[in-house]
Amino acid sequence: MRRWLPLLPNIISSIRILLAVPIALTLARHQFASTLWLFAVAAASDAVDGWLAKRFGWQSDLGGLLDPIADKLMLATVFVMLTLLGNLPVWLTATVVARDCVIVSGAICYRILLGPVTARPSMVSKLNTLCQILFILDIIAAQQFSWPRAWGVALGALVFVTVSVSGIDYVVVYARQAAEEFRSRRSSVRARGSRPA
């Protein structure tokens, strides 16, 4: 039994990926109460799997891949569905999705050209994820309970700012890291070439 415990964070992340489907379906059917519960469970699972991995040392390469995929898929799904339902402006969802596409495509290119990518979410990236979650909860709760979205504009502005800043931060950090890796490899090649036969 204990040998399966280190897999718990990955299992939880996988469940969060699967939750994207029922979340999209409940939104499409305007079942906002169900969406709130499912989204709350998904958001809580993000904190739980991260805590388990760090607390017990259950980090893995697969977990480092599954966790960000689960987060991005869950949030992108909700943003796209809320936009289709007319609850979000297209430009905001396009900004959120474009940032994720840039990060994912950059990570793929880095992996192909240079090797494994070590994911280190910055503070602004974590703040962005929190803002997106709070923003989505505010919108869905407003639909369910018909209350005025007092925090909606402020949260939406925070989402846009943190999405933009974190996206630029990712590009700058990993472009610098890639440049340093290229320079290091070039130096190694030159050093080998200069050795006497």
Per DSSP, the residues of 50-80 read HHHHHHHT---HHHHHHHHHHHHHHHHHHHH
Which residues of the chain fall below pLDDT 70? 1-2, 117-120, 148-150, 189-197
pTM, two decimal places: 0.83
Domain 2-193 top-level CATH class: mainly alpha
State the pLDDT at residue 150. Answer: 62
pLDDT value, residue 95: 95
Whether the CB-CB separation of 79 and 23 falls below 8 Å is answered with: no
Quote the CA–CA distance of 175 and 182 in Å, as a whole number. Answer: 11
> In whole angstroms, what is the distance from residue 196 CA to residue 192 CA?
9
Give me the residue spans of the domains in the chain: 2-193
State whether residue 103 is helix, strand or coil: helix
Task: Report how far residue 75's alpha carbon sits from residue 88's, in angstroms, rounded to the nearest whole number.
Answer: 13
- pLDDT confidence of residue 196: 55
- pLDDT at position 194, please? 59
What does the pLDDT read at residue 3?
72
In whole angstroms, give the CA distance from residue 80 to residue 148. 22
